[in-house]
Structure formats: structure tokens, C-alpha cells
Amino acid sequence: MPEHSVVTRFAPSPTGFLHIGNARTCLFSWLYARATGGKFLLRIEDTDRERSTQEAIDAIFEGLTWLGIDWDEEPIYQSARAGRHREVAEQLLTSGNAYRCFATPEELTEMREAARAAGKPPRYDGRWRDRAPGPEHGNQPFTIRLRADQEGETIVRDHVQGDVRFGNDHLDDLVLLRSDGTPTYMLAVVVDDHDMGVSHVVRGDDHLNNAARQMQIIKALGWDAPQYAHVPLIHGPDGAKFSKRHGAQGVREYRDLGYLADAMNNYLLRLGWSYGDHEIISREDAVKWFDLDGINKAAARFDFDKLNHVNAHYIRSRSNEDLLAEVLTLARRLKDWDLDADQTGRLSRALPSLSERASTVVDIIDGADFLITARPIPIEEKAQKLLTSEARTLLAALTDSLEAELKTEGDWTLEAIEAHIRTFADSQELKFGHVAQPIRASCAGKMKSPGIFDVLYALGRAESLARMRDQAG
């Protein structure tokens, strides 16, 4: 396949956050370009000037960057191309494939109401299709409409949906240019895709009807149509269209919920696409294996349990250094953490045990709170009940023993800590739990924490002994 014979694009409207469904479609489009050695382009469809915001544009760039999706040329802003869109509308007008429509807003309302009363879909009735304006229309506003085919059918040949047929008698003469001279979405998309050399359009199947209308514009212009892949929308666990009530919708929300970018990519890839029985798929393998024909025709259901499972896998696969960086980055954003070297060292030592039970980075952050709390640490009510006078006396003896036996931070290893505490428990003729519970209460301040040896090792010798002395009797 010649270089760049495949050109795909992602064309979001910056009127809100980057939706997780759009992110998945973007990922599919990006992967296909990368898998075929083609180009992936980014177009910001900001023609809705009232609703488009810089904040939303920034969120799109931020979300794509976080997911590791790059683009090959400078982003195109659709609003900057309005002159080109008007030029093409005038071209269609000159060729007879479009016409001026002087229908007033009141007339259009009457048309819609009459169609509804007749049990038909509301649409334009073509009254200006073959009608020449008179002198009285000289200064009246008009739109430019496509002179659409009225007979036969338009066939959208789709990599996902197969051949989808639309009767042309159901496709009305759509507006290309509004009365104020601004282009419509339908015209702008066709012109931009053509001028950008887009060969494959990957988008949600809610655009399938648009494809039939856009193909009529393409035909009128004598251009080649791109290949289409209309991807089924994501549904919630209940089978309904994925919405706010199902959970987080924006890419940025998932980042702040503690999901790793590579885990999110893996999950979105498998949400409607498959390659054998592979569940965990690296970015390299995704690029190697991806093909549009592997996209499922049925809607995929978003499953947070599966996402958590995939994310947990990627958390445990990270190096300690990389995971520490992820934790610190998110904790700074969510909790304004500003750790000193000692606190960072404790967190780093605790990561292997904290990550064992974590599904998200937020789980790790929540579990690590006790590591960075200044002494004397707060003790939860249930943990406080463990610190009886007998337990406090036991803590005092254990602290003295640990301090005497493990004299330096270099002596403070997991193996040495475990050996000493187990020996101490045996010497006191106590079950290990009777010793471990007051240690956990004094050092973590709560009932649940990583294993007690991991807690002491992560805190380090000086901090552990100090916390135990704070509670010793």
C-alpha cells in the first residue's frame, strides 16, 4: 500500500468535554491510519460559534495527548474555511446542482406542521426547486439548497454496517448555505474531507443518515466518496445509550478517577473490536492488528468492572518509578500534595503493597494517606479501641526491642522487621494478630492498611518507632 494512501481524521465539535465515545472512535481512526502507514488528521469543527469554547478545544487537545493520540499536521479549524465552503456552494449553484430558496421561516414552519399532520417526517417540500425568483425577491434573504436526487437510492457501503440503502425520495433538498451566508455542517464536512484528502471516515453510527446526504453532495460535485466505517454507539450496562447516569462521560473524568492512559486505550479498543481471545493488547500490537473490518456491528456495553480489571493489570505492570510519577501527578491535581523527600520515599516503598489491591490510582492515593500524615497521626475510632492499656504496654516493649535490635535505617528491611516481630510475639506467648493490631493502629491510624511489615518498612525506622512511641504506654 503506497505511503499515505490512507488518510483518516477526527473532527470533534468543541461544545463540551471530549466524550468517551468520541475518544473511542478517534482511537479507531488513529489506529487504522497507523496500521496502514497512513496519515491521521485533526479538524476542530467550530462553526457553531455561540457554543464553541476555547476551554472545550483545550479539553480535546488535553484528552488526546493524555491518551497518546497524535496527529500528523497542524489542526484545521473549520470556521477558518467558511470562504472555501461558500465557494463550493456557489459552484453547485452555477452547475445547476443547487438553487436559491426564498422560503420564509413561517413557510418552513407550515411545511413541518403539514407533514406531521399527514403522518410524514417533517421536511422541505421543494417549492423553490424549479421556481425562478421574481423582482419582489430582489432584496429578500435566501438559502442555497442542494438539488438532490429524487429517484433511485443512495447506497452507503460501510466497513461496519455493510451496504445501507436510502431511498432518495426520503432525502430532501438540504440547505448548503444559510441566509446569512454561513455554510451548514453537511456542506462543510464534505468540502473539508475532500480538501484534506480523507480516504476513510470513521465515526459514530448516529452519522449514518448524514452519510447518505453527504454522498449526494459529493456526487453533485463529481468527487470520490471516502470509505465509511460507522461505529455503533456505546451503551451503558442496562443497554441504553451511555449517559451521565451510567457514570463518567468525559476523558478527563477518567484520568481524574485514576485510570491509566494505556489501560483506557486497551479498554476502549476492546469495546467493540476484537482480535482472537486477546484481552490485554499493547499499543504496539494494536497498531499491528487493527483493521476496520474487526469492529463489531452490535453496540458495546460499558462495564466498569472490566475497566477496573484492565486498569489493575496495567497498574501492577508499571515500574515502581513510573507508577510513583503517576500517583504524584494525580495527587498534586486532586489533593494538592506537595511531598518532601521523606514522604516521597515512604510512598515509593509502599507502592508494591498498595498497588496489589488497587484498581485505580485513586485507590493508591487514598490508601497512602497515612504515609504522609504528620505526627501525631489521627487514629480512627475503631482503631482507637485496639489501643487498650495492655496493648500500649505491649507497644512500648516492642518499640524498645526494635530500637535496640535494628539500630540503623540500613537494618530496617522487610525481612528483619518480620523476623523480629514474630520472635517478639513468640517470646510474649502471643498470637501474631495480638501484636500486629496495635502496630497497625499506631502506625496507620486505621483498621485497614497494607500488611503490617509493609507499613513499617514504608514508613522507615525513625517514623515507625516515633509513631509507636506516640501511642505506647
The residues that bridge with 144 in the sheet, in sequence order, are 100, 177
Instruction: Locate 415 and state its grid cell.
Output: 525481612
Residues with Cβ within 8 Å of residue 369, at least 6 apart in sequence: none
Instruction: Provide the CA 86 distance to its chain's centre, in angstroms.
Output: 35
Contact 103, 128 (CB under 8 A): yes
In 387-432, where do the E strands start and end?
none
Contact 363, 450 (CB under 8 A): no
Residues whose CB falls within 8 Å of the CB of residue 247, separated by 6 or more in sequence, listed in order: 236, 302, 304
Kindly state the cell numbers that stand for 70. 497524535
Rg (CA), the chain: 32
Task: Please provide the DSSP assignment of 123-183 as one string.
Answer: ----TTTT----GGGTTS--EEEE----SSEEEEEETTTEEEEEEGGGS---EEE-TTSPB
Which of 118, 120, 123, 119 is CA-nearest to residue 175? 123
d(CA 105, CA 95): 27
CB 73 within 8 A of CB 39: yes
Whose cell is 513510573? That residue is 322
Candidate list 120, 219, 241, 244, residue with the active-site label = 244
Residues 91, 217: contact at Cβ < 8 Å? no
244 is catalytic: yes
278/249 Cα distance (integer angstroms): 26
Active site residues: 244
